[in-house]
Amino acid sequence: MKARAFSYARPSTVMEALEAFEGCGEDASYIAGGQSLVPALALRLQAPQLLIDIAHIDALRGVELQGDWLRIGALVRHCEVLSDPLIRQYAPLYSEAAPHVAHPAIRNKGTLGGSLSHADPASEFPAVTLALGAELEIANRQGTRRVAADDFFIDLFQTAIEPGELLVAIHVPVVRPGHRWAFHELARRRGDFALVGCGILAEFADDAVENIRIAFFSVGSTPLRARQVEKSLVGKRLDQAAIAAAQALVGDDLDPPDDEQVPPAMKRHLARVLLGRLLGQIARQGS
Amino acid sequence: MNALTPFDRPNSYIGRSVPRPNAKRLLAGRGRYVTDIVLPRMLHVAYVRSPYAHARIVSIDAQAAREMPGVRLVATGEDLAKLCTPWVGTMEHFKGMKSPPQLPLPIDKVVWSGQAVVAIVADTRALAEDAAEVVSIEFDELPAVIDIDAAREPGAALISPGLGSNLCFHGKIDTGGIDDVFAGAAYVVEEEFHFGRHTAVTLEPRAIIADYDASERQLTVHHATQTPYQFQDIYARHYGIPESRVRVIAPDIGGSFGMKLHMYHEDMAVVGLSMMLGRPVKYVADRIESFVSDIHARDHRVRARMAADADGNILAMDVEDVTGIGAFSAYPRTSVVEGNQVYRLMGAPYTFRNYRADLQVVFQNKVQMSQYRAVGHPIACTVTERLVDMIADKTAQDVFDIRSQNAIPDDGYPCTSPTGYQFEALSHHACLARLREMMDYDGLRAEQAELRIRGIHRGIGIATFVEITNPGPAFYGVGGARISSQDGAVIKITPTGDVHCLISVTELGQGTETIIGQIVAEHLGIDRDRIKVITGDTETTPYGGATYACRGAGIGGETALQAAKKLKANVLAVAAAILQDEPDRLDIHSGWIVDAATAQPRIELSEIARIAYFRSDTLPPGTQAQLSVTHHYAPQGYPFAFTNGVQACHLELDVETGLVKILKLWVVEDCGRVINPLLVDEQIRGGVVQGLGAAFFEECVYGDNGQLTNGSLADYLVPMAVEMPDIEIGHVETPTLDTQLGAKGVGEAGTAAASAAALNAINDAMKPFGSTVAQVPMTPARILKALGHI
Amino acid sequence: MSELVNVTMTVNGNDVSHNIAPRHTLADFLRQTLELTGTHTGCEMGVCGACLVVLDGRVVHSCLTFAVQASGSTIETVEGLTERAVIADLQEAFHQRNALQCGFCTPGMLMTAYSLLEQPGVPSREVIRDALSGNYCRCTGYEAIVDAIEKVARDRAAVAHASAPEEVLG
Ligand SMILES: Cc1cc2nc3c(=O)[nH]c(=O)nc-3n(C[C@H](O)[C@H](O)[C@H](O)COP(=O)(O)OP(=O)(O)OC[C@H]3O[C@@H](n4cnc5c(N)ncnc54)[C@H](O)[C@@H]3O)c2cc1C
Ligand code: FES
Ligand code: FES
């Protein structure tokens, strides 16, 4: 298990990185924390000619409150997501998901930007990003653009990031009073990719749901919003009947792949159970 | 921890928890594993593997690989066949067993997906992998034989046409009249059990360095194995090198569990590659290769019935086991031993006399299956213990009561099982009583009932077991396998009065060297820290069986004990000559020759050694000091030393998700004389966790085409710290009278019954729902299916 | 394409500089180039934890980092922590409790324990098990490892809280 040979570049600005990519005929990979990429290289599933190490680009770092938005640099590591006070205060769903992401040593190296760019449908952060309605700032040689999370995750390991582009930062609308949230996943062992997981951000008015975003992961080729469920809950109080009705709908929102070990029926069942538990949790936050 | 105090009898180490002297090196990062070893001019090998489970090799084009940077040799099956004679994994005492001849690399066809086909030797492993990518092999795919039933059907594709069928072995046991017993029984329960394939996943993968020096015809192999003598024999015979010129060194080994005592094709090839190149060649299986080449274990489907009378007395068992072993039987221990132990250990704790069993061992296009920790035990135990619980259900008996009622009485020994196993002395009742008290069984049952009302579903499972240890030559030797069941030790006193003990049992982290040191220290009469135990080198240690089937303490320990006594007699003879006294009036305490009656020090051992080695002129004429001894010990008496015990598992099942929290495990175990409780308990804990791995997580999953679909450590789930419980251990000690030491084995006890206890606990938890499961691993999917959720 | 690159870092307090292929992982660099074989590899894909080292103060997998990425960093391996005697109490507790058998996982376990115990407070057994969630051990069944770490955590806390040396001895 040794990677194929490659060259290595260590740019210190976004522009240098973008140029390095272009300069090698696009047969390059960016590497951030390397926690997903290195295994792929070791298994020779990927074999770029050039590895562009973006870990030393200062512009990709840091967590900062910018008005109603929290800007999280792409290089912010999972362990920082777990402990950062600004994230805990303004985008707490990330903090709650972070302990479920892999293991301590992987969290010490893996980056939020890497997780979102990699877009593993079983990953926690992409679903949380979706639930939070975040926007992703992407740089190319022409400049930067912001893509809504809803438009970001396109397919299995495929995002709105075009070849050669860099994810620079994640912009999260900050949580406000009246927001409630919950996150949980069902996994066979601590730190495993989940059988099914879900993050919910809801806005309440007079104890009724005004807005709700429910994002599941590990149930399809991308993180998925349970849109029918969301629709069914708007305007409702989260009582047992509403929760049960929502649970009945969730199967249709999901698209689990065929898998003998974890068959689609099981994923749907677990999603129903998880949804019930999380909505119950959110309901209790009101009291 | 009970540290030694001055009040103890000197050198009384047996029975004491003492830490392992040789562990300090490992803690400091100074272990030396084969993976760490670098020899001058050493090369590295990578293999090109078959993507097909069953295919004819049409052609191999390796020219491009030969031209890659750093490549020193590209070798195929034909190249190696010129050096290495084929091997066949059969033993004579398994009547009618068949298996095809094997070679390091295949010549005309591949029989499992992942089989090594071409070897590339290069300056580094990375360069070898680069070259492996450009080898092109043309295969002609054949129908893959995967399913154990389809494999036995007439007209099935044959893996080895020369054998005439895909059946490796068919065994039967029948005490007679079984159908009548079942017909007349008040209760009959039956179940079909499935035991998934799993594998050892030692943390250090397989590793080997072969170094052939043509100038001396000397082969030196650094091999991460538990059985160096066995491999010395194999390399010598199959490569035609005199045995005296084959040295196998087993240094620190990163886990073995039975997996590292089988012949692997890649390992055998490495020897030939080194002979071709005249240079050291190293092979370390990477984790992906481990999954498709290390032996797998289990893979049994058992249909079993149990009959009982109206009072819950078990009358009979009727068992049919079919097991899939891969494309051939493993060498040199075969792949029938597991099935053989499955169908002979069924019902072993109980008194019933009527038994019928049918064992079919089937070839299929998968990785080879062979012995791994607790060979056969978990299967026999799970089947028996689940059926016992089912009888208890029928008769509305408590799970403890039915076991007490049916287990062989503790004073009922010696006796013989219906399958022919001879039990010297076991202690099921003492163990059951001890367990019941340890776990506060009645308290747990009360709590269970109360929690059930609140929708919390806990389960309690009990499993009684019998374990095979200390095997004599009846295990392998009688079958014609050149696997020793005896061990040898050399103990020598150095000029300063220190002691070296070279012994044939090997250290795998289980603490062999420590217990041998304890035994020698106690029986010689010196301090433990003056003894150095040396293992794992065929050139320096005497010939022996080494480590398999729980024999290190029982057989190796007895060897050391007898050797130490012999040496002590020699020392006392010299001492008596020097002191002008009688040997039997002298003793040795803490390195001093003392007066046996008064313990009064007379002369220091180091002084005896000094005189013997440097001033023999001062010894009385005719005295020849023998301060080294060689001693061998082969077990006699009972063919095996059986041990026994009972385990209990307490868990909580989330009945909505199928996820399980294992709350606690208890083990009461009787391994005879306990030499070092600290080490024994850790053997049990480690074994239990392997059993729980099998119960809940571990399974080699194959697709219909014979592809292993979860062959990486990310996909194959091993038990990890968060999911594993604390494990409480109790002991009952029934020493074997076959040896002076009285020790039996303990390495497999934990694994033997943990999955059975877990399966019974899950079924107990599901009882309110009328659901049952009879398959391991008990994955959430299987549990949810049992509960009717999916 | 596969030219050698210079890699310079501080390993166990020593400045080292080597020209290596960029595809060399930090694990291979430590084990093969620097002969620091206390760091083990059990899976080479981040799952087993045998290869953990301290990189710029954080425990990471040396199999999931190329040595070039770590150029300019400070690394500590089990050999370095042993020499500095900062894990002597952990090593002693592992030894006394027999929290290792084959020892192949042990350096990684010590790394995790070292970093866990850098944090304030005495971790519960659950927290210890959680911290070990990425460290595979096939031999021990984990309990002894948890015991050993727990003991050191308690002992360290006792020492930290003791106001007078006599109390420590008591
Ligand atoms: C054993 C193990 C268990 C794991 N368990 C989990 C888990 O439970 N949940 C989970 O979510 N993850 C898990 N992971 C993955 C881990 O979280 C990764 O860290 C993360 O997915 C990728 O982040 P990274 O910084 O390491 O990215 P890298 O590995 O460096 O990169 C991943 C991909 O993203 C690209 N990329 C990275 N950064 C950028 C950027 N800024 N702009 C554009 N492209 C970029 C890279 O080119 C590459 O293709 C696990 C990993 C391992 C090894
Ligand atoms: S070798 Fe790095 S985690 Fe296994
Ligand atoms: S002690 Fe062997 S893997 Fe942990």
Residue C165 confidence (pLDDT) above 90: no
Look at residues B633, B655, B671 and tell me which one is the last residue of a structural domain. Answer: B633
Q: Hey, are the CB atoms on B697 and A188 less than 8 Å from each other? A: yes
Distance CA B112, CA B289 (A): 13
Q: Are A169 and A137 in contact (CB under 8 A)?
A: yes
Q: Which residues of chain A have pLDDT under 70?
A: none
| Helix or strand (DSSP H, E) at B354 | strand B354-362
Number of C-alpha atoms within 13 angstroms, CB side, residue B150? Answer: 10
Please choose from B20, B22, B35, B203 the residue to mutate so as to test ligand 3's pocket, defined by most ligand atoms within 8 A of CB. B203
Q: Hey, are the CB atoms on C23 and A38 less than 8 Å from each other? A: no
CATH code of the domain in which B731 resides: 3.30.365.10
> Which of C31, C38, C42 shows the shortest C-beta gap to B204?
C42
* Same domain for B19 and B115: no
Residue closest by Cα to atom 2 of ligand 3: C102
A89 strand-pairing partners: none
Residue A41 structural domain: 7-53
Q: Collapse the DSSP code of A102 into the 3-class scheme (helix H, G, I; strand E, B; otherwise coil) and give the result.
A: coil
| pLDDT computed for residue C1 by the predictor | 45
Residue with tokens 């903090």: A95
Q: What is the pLDDT of residues C93-131, one digit of tens each?
A: 999 999 999 999 999 999 999 999 999 999 999 999 999
* Same domain for A197 and A104: no
Which residues in chain B touch residue C76, judged by CB atoms under 8 angstroms apart?
Answer: none
Residue B480 confidence (pLDDT) above 70: yes
Helix axes A240-253, A264-285, angle to 10 degrees: 150
* Distance of residue B38 Cα from the nearest chain C Cα, in angstroms: 9
* Same domain for B763 and B709: yes
CATH code of the domain in which A260 resides: 3.30.390.50
Q: Would A39 be classed as within a structural domain?
A: yes
Whether A167 lines ligand 1, by a CB cut-off of 6 Å, is yes
* Same domain for A163 and A67: yes
Average pLDDT over residues B600-616: 97
* Same domain for B409 and B552: no
Chains touching chain B through at least 3 C-beta pairs below 8 angstroms are A, C
DSSP B74-118: EE-HHHHHTT---B----TTSTT-----B-SS-SSEE-STT-EEE
CATH 1.10.150.120 fits C85-162, yes or no: yes
> Which of B126, B656, B710 shows the shortest C-beta gap to A2?
B126
**Which chain B residue lies closest to A196 (C-alpha atoms)?**
B657
Q: Collapse the DSSP code of B498 into the 3-class scheme (helix H, G, I; strand E, B; otherwise coil) and give the result.
A: coil
* Same domain for A244 and A211: yes
Q: How far is CA B320 from CA B193, B351, B772, in A?
A: 10, 20, 20
| pLDDT computed for residue B472 by the predictor | 86
- Joined together, the tokens standing for residue B336 give 């029938």
B478 or C67: which leads in pLDDT: C67
| Helix or strand (DSSP H, E) at A73 | strand A69-73
| pLDDT computed for residue B548 by the predictor | 86
Calculate how far, in angstroms, residue C41's C-alpha sits from the geometric centre of ligand 1: 20
Q: Would A270 be classed as within a structural domain?
A: yes
Q: Hey, are the CB atoms on C105 and B718 less than 8 Å from each other? A: no
Nearest atom within ligand 3 for CA of residue B254: 2
Residue closest by Cα to atom 3 of ligand 2: C46
Q: Would A245 be classed as within a structural domain?
A: yes
- Average pLDDT of every residue of chain A: 97
* Distance of residue B723 Cα from the nearest chain C Cα, in angstroms: 9
Nearest bound ligand to CA B686? 3
Q: Would B384 be classed as within a structural domain?
A: yes
* Same domain for A48 and A72: no
Count Cβ atoms below 10 Å from residue B411 Cβ, excluding itself: 7
Count Cβ atoms below 10 Å from residue A105 Cβ, excluding itself: 30
Most distant CA pair in chain C, distance: 64
To 5 degrees, how large is the angle CA A236–CA A239–CA A245? 75
* Same domain for B451 and B576: no
* Distance of residue A129 Cα from the nearest chain C Cα, in angstroms: 25
- Joined together, the tokens standing for residue B384 give 């028996």
Q: Which residues, other chains included, contact A234 with Cβ-Cβ below 8 Å and sequence gap of 6+?
A: A209, A210, A211, A212
Average pLDDT over residues B760-776: 98
Nearest atom within ligand 3 for CA of residue B202: 3
Look at residues A53, A71, A86 and tell me which one is the last residue of a structural domain. Answer: A53
In terms of DSSP H, where are the helices of B369-494?
377-395, 399-406, 428-438, 441-453
Sign of CA dihedral B727, B731, B737, B741: positive
Look at residues B633, B652, B681 and tell me which one is the last residue of a structural domain. Answer: B633
Show the beta-strand stretches assigned E in B472-552: 487-493, 499-503, 531-534
* Same domain for A168 and A63: yes
Q: Hey, are the CB atoms on B203 and C39 less than 8 Å from each other? A: no
Q: How far is CA B206 from CA A58, B96, B103, B222, in A?
A: 43, 32, 19, 11
> What length is written for chain A?
287
| pLDDT computed for residue B9 by the predictor | 75
Whether A21 lines ligand 1, by a CB cut-off of 6 Å, is no
* Same domain for A167 and A74: yes
Q: What is the pLDDT of residues A239-282, one digit of tens each?
A: 999 999 999 999 889 989 998 889 999 999 999 999 999 999 99
- Average pLDDT of every residue of chain B: 96
To 5 degrees, how large is the angle CA B281–CA B284–CA B288? 140
| pLDDT computed for residue B4 by the predictor | 47
| Helix or strand (DSSP H, E) at B372 | none
Chains touching chain C through at least 3 C-beta pairs below 8 angstroms are A, B
DSSP C38-61: TS--SSSSSSS-TTEEEETTEEEE
* Same domain for A184 and A151: no
Single-letter residue type at A22: E
Distance CA C94, CA C110 (A): 9
The interface pTM score, or ipTM, of the predicted complex is 0.96
Q: How many domains does chain A have?
A: 3
Q: Would A111 be classed as within a structural domain?
A: yes
Q: How far is CA B158 from CA B100, B162, B326, in A?
A: 12, 9, 13
If phi over 0 gives left and psi between -120 and 50 gives alpha, with beta otherwise, what is residue B690?
alpha
* Same domain for B39 and B27: no
Which residues in chain B touch residue C93, judged by CB atoms under 8 angstroms apart?
Answer: none
* Same domain for A109 and A68: yes
Q: Are B534 and B501 in contact (CB under 8 A)?
A: yes
* Same domain for A278 and A222: yes
Q: Would A1 be classed as within a structural domain?
A: no
| pLDDT computed for residue B7 by the predictor | 45
CATH code of the domain in which A137 resides: 3.30.465.10
Residue B344 confidence (pLDDT) above 90: yes
B9 secondary structure, DSSP code: P
Q: Are B306 and B390 in contact (CB under 8 A)?
A: yes
Q: Closest by alpha carbon to B747, among B567, B508, B406?
A: B508
| pLDDT computed for residue C166 by the predictor | 52
- Average pLDDT of every residue of chain C: 94
| C-alpha R_g of chain C | 17
* Same domain for B40 and B25: no
Q: Hey, are the CB atoms on A263 and B790 less than 8 Å from each other? A: yes
If phi over 0 gives left and psi between -120 and 50 gives alpha, with beta otherwise, what is residue B682?
alpha
Which CATH number does the domain C5-81 belong to among 1.10.287.1080, 3.40.50.2000, 3.10.20.30, 3.10.310.70?
3.10.20.30
Residue B163 confidence (pLDDT) above 50: yes
Residue C163 confidence (pLDDT) above 90: no
Q: Output helix, strand, coil percentages for chain A, rounded to the nearest 5.
A: 35, 25, 35
* Same domain for B782 and B714: yes
- Joined together, the tokens standing for residue B619 give 């010894």
Sign of CA dihedral C49, A193, B291, B125: negative
Is B30 part of the contact surface with chain C (CB cutoff 8 Å)? yes
Q: Are B738 and B636 in contact (CB under 8 A)?
A: yes
Whether A159 lines ligand 1, by a CB cut-off of 6 Å, is no
Q: Collapse the DSSP code of A84 into the 3-class scheme (helix H, G, I; strand E, B; otherwise coil) and give the result.
A: coil
Q: Closest by alpha carbon to A213, among A173, A248, A177?
A: A173
The pTM of this model reads 0.97
Q: Collapse the DSSP code of B648 into the 3-class scheme (helix H, G, I; strand E, B; otherwise coil) and give the result.
A: strand
H, E, C per residue of B565-625: HHHHHHHHHHHHHHHCCCHHHEEEECCEEEECCCCCEEEEHHHHHHHHHHCHHHCCCCCCC
Residue B661 confidence (pLDDT) above 90: yes
- Joined together, the tokens standing for residue B430 give 């003492």
Q: Hey, are the CB atoms on B727 and C143 less than 8 Å from each other? A: yes
- Joined together, the tokens standing for residue A186 give 């069902």
Count Cβ atoms below 10 Å from residue B581 Cβ, excluding itself: 17
Q: Which residues of C13-25 are buried (b: 16+ CB within 10 A; e: fewer)?
A: eeeeebebbbbbb
Residue B617 structural domain: 6-31+486-633
Q: Which residues of A214-230 are buried (b: 16+ CB within 10 A; e: fewer)?
A: bbbbbbbbbbbbbebbb
Q: How far is CA C43 from CA A47, C25, C53, C167, in A?
A: 19, 13, 15, 46
Most distant CA pair in chain A, distance: 61
Q: What is the pLDDT of residues B253-306, one digit of tens each?
A: 999 999 999 999 999 999 999 999 999 999 999 999 999 999 999 999 999 999
**A135-140 and A166-173 as β-strands: parallel, antiparallel, unpaired?**
antiparallel
CATH code of the domain in which A24 resides: 3.30.43.10
Q: What is the pLDDT of residues B535-582, one digit of tens each?
A: 999 999 999 998 887 788 899 999 999 999 999 999 999 999 999 999
Count Cβ atoms below 10 Å from residue B236 Cβ, excluding itself: 17
Residue B1 confidence (pLDDT) above 80: no
> Which of A3, A55, A190 shows the shortest C-beta gap to C23?
A3
Q: Hey, are the CB atoms on C101 and B510 less than 8 Å from each other? A: yes
Q: Closest by alpha carbon to B542, among B592, B489, B474, B465?
A: B489
Q: How confident is the model at residue B210 (pLDDT cuts 50, 70, 90)?
A: very high
C16 strand-pairing partners: C9
CA B459 from centroid of its chain's CA atoms? 30
**CB under 8 A, 24+ apart: contacts of B90-96:** B90/B329, B90/B334, B91/B334, B91/B336, B91/B476, B91/B479, B91/B480, B91/B481, B92/B478, B92/B479, B92/B480, B93/B478, B93/B479, B93/B480, B94/B169, B94/B171, B94/B334, B94/B336, B94/B340, B94/B479, B96/B169, B96/B170
Look at residues B273, B293, B313 and tell me which one is the last residue of a structural domain. Answer: B293
* Same domain for B534 and B399: no
What is the count of residue pairs from A and C with beta carbons less than 8 Å apart?
92
Residue B5 confidence (pLDDT) above 70: no
Q: How many domains does chain B have?
A: 3
C30 secondary structure, DSSP code: I
Residue B638 confidence (pLDDT) above 50: yes
Calculate how far, in angstroms, residue A22's C-alpha sits from the geometric centre of ligand 3: 46
DSSP C140-157: S-SHHHHHHHHHHHHHHH
* Same domain for B777 and B690: yes
Q: What is the pLDDT of residues B116-159, one digit of tens each?
A: 999 999 999 999 999 999 999 999 999 999 999 999 999 999 99
Q: Collapse the DSSP code of B121 into the 3-class scheme (helix H, G, I; strand E, B; otherwise coil) and give the result.
A: strand
Distance CA B332, CA B548 (A): 13
**CB under 8 A, 24+ apart: contacts of A204-211:** A204/A178, A204/A179, A204/A180, A204/A286, A205/A178, A207/A237, A207/A286, A208/A235, A208/A236, A208/A237, A209/A233, A209/A234, A209/A235, A209/A236, A209/A237, A209/A238, A210/A178, A210/A234, A210/A235
